[in-house]
Amino acid sequence: MAKKNEKEDSLKLYKQILEDIRQRKFSKIYVLAGEEPYYSDVIIEALSSTVLSPSQKDFNYSVLYGTDTDAGQVVSLCRRYPVESDYQLIILKEAQQLSSLQQFEYYLAAPAPDTVLVLSFTDKGLDKRTTFYKKLNGVATVLESYALDEWKVPGWIVDYVKEQGYEIESDAAQLLAQSTGASLRKIVLEIDKLFKGIDTKTITVKDVEVNIGISRDFNAFELCKAIGERNLQKCYTIAEVFGNNPKKYPIQATLGAMFYYFNLLLTLHAHLKGGREFAAAAAKSGIFGPQRIAEYRTTASNFSLIKSMNIISLIEDCDYRSKSNAGGYASDGAMLNELLAKIFSL
């Protein structure tokens, strides 16, 4: 599992690569790999729209696939001279399908100065023990991406929507995260669907329900709200639906939403301890809108700072057990019911 600083460094590098591309500071070789292919998609799109003008692409732009070629053919293309252009752009997708990378090892020793080569290893990390990886050092720009932590997905959605010139309610972001999981490719597709389906610049919970096809009655968003209200009957009703449909409602996604919800509550309590009025503390915590503020006012009255900390600890423990042998033979539904029982016993 990647360490926190590795994920942060990877994200910083990703942003730096995009900035360099915008400034036409191109590397001779890009090696894109890792768990989250979305970052590779964005970098490839940025290079495709920046390195060459539309008129230059006819003779200087090649997209190949590892299933249909070999390293030797790609290297031969790299050695060609560009036609009426400063560069040629060669993109190899699904590079993990190549039988051998040895020809690239030779190319790394003397890459063509007027070729921009992109090697994209879809859903695959790089073996740092190989000669190929060791020869990349100082020659290529290497990005190894990591999957987004599930509890960070709602925040990522909020930031992405803002970058596109829209706003999204925090409830709507959480509901969308519950539906999509942590796949950024899927998230972006669903957000683009939302943009086409709304007439305003603000995405609401209703927009998500209508355009993405989510039942508000049975989702992690409503589960968290029911916990905040200490509505045991509704909680166990939702938990039963989740338990009977583990593929549609994976427990990791549910726990991620719960962690996000109660982490906000913990932040709210911290600001309240600092002497702020409730509305000001809510705004400082990232809780906006009359309904959302009223919801968290109820939740905060039912679960104190100490209880909020205990709940987060319980969620983390359940998450660990769901991903390891510590859970034994317990089903997702059984673990979720046990978690709810522990929360309501606080």
Is 90 exceeded by the pLDDT of residue 175?
Answer: no
Query: Could you tell me the strand order of the sheet in which 141-145 lies?
Result: 61-65, 88-93, 115-120, 29-34, 141-145
% of the chain residues with pLDDT over 70 = 97
The whole-number pLDDT of residue 276 equals 86
Strands in 80-197 per DSSP E: 88-93, 115-120, 141-145, 167-168
Token pair 């709940």 in the structure block, residue? 311
**pLDDT tens digits, residue range 223-232?**
999 999 999 9
Fold annotation for 215-344: Zinc Finger, Delta Prime; domain 3 (1.20.272)
Q: What is the pLDDT of residues 207-228, one digit of tens each?
A: 988 888 766 667 888 899 999 9
Distance CA 213, CA 33 (A): 33
- What predicted TM-score, i.e. pTM, was given to this entire model? 0.68
Task: Answer whether 253's CB lies under 8 Å from 322's CB.
Answer: no
Burial 79-110 (b: 16+ CB within 10 A, else e): eeebeebebbbbbbbbbbebeebebbbebbee
Mean pLDDT within 278-286: 89
| Mean pLDDT over the full length of the chain | 90
pLDDT of residue 51 exceeding 70, the answer is yes
Q: Which three-class secondary structure state does DSSP give residue 323?
A: coil
User: Could you tell me the two tokens for 4?
Assistant: 């926190």
C-beta separation of 92 from 68 below 8 A: no
Distance CA 212, CA 122 (A): 27
Helix (H/G/I), strand (E/B), else coil: 122:
coil
| Least confident segment among 45-54, 79-88, 238-247 | 238-247
**How far is Cα 269 from Cα 102, in angstroms, rounded to an integer?**
57
Return the SS3 of 70: coil
Is residue 308 classed exposed, middle or buried when 0-12, 13-18 and 19+ CB atoms within 10 A define those classes?
buried
Helix (H, G, I), strand (E, B) or coil at 52: coil
Tell me the one-letter amino acid at 201: K
- Per-residue pLDDT, averaged over 146-164, amounts to 88
Contact in structure between 283 and 170 (CB atoms under 8 Å): no
pLDDT at 328 over 90: no
pLDDT of residue 215: 64
pLDDT given at position 222: 87
How does residue 263 score in pLDDT terms, banded at 50, 70 and 90?
very high
Q: What residue ranges do the domains of the chain occupy?
A: 4-145, 148-202, 215-344
In angstroms, the CA 292 to CA 288 distance is: 6
Determine the number of helices (DSSP H) and then strands (DSSP E) in the chain. Answer: 17, 7
- pLDDT band at 154, cuts 50/70/90? confident
Which fold would CATH assign to domain 4-145? Rossmann fold (3.40.50)
Sorting pLDDT into bands at 50, 70 and 90, what band is 308?
Answer: very high
Least confident of 28-32, 175-179, 309-313, 320-324: 175-179
Half-sphere exposure of 91 (CA within 13 A, CB side): 19
Contacts 24+ apart (CB under 8 A), 46-50: 46/18, 46/21, 46/22, 47/21, 47/89, 47/91, 47/116, 47/118, 48/89, 48/91, 50/21, 50/22, 50/24
Cα separation, 336 vs 251, in Å, equals 7
Residues 172/208, Cβ–Cβ less than 8 Å: yes
Give Cα 164 to chain centroid, integer Å. Answer: 16
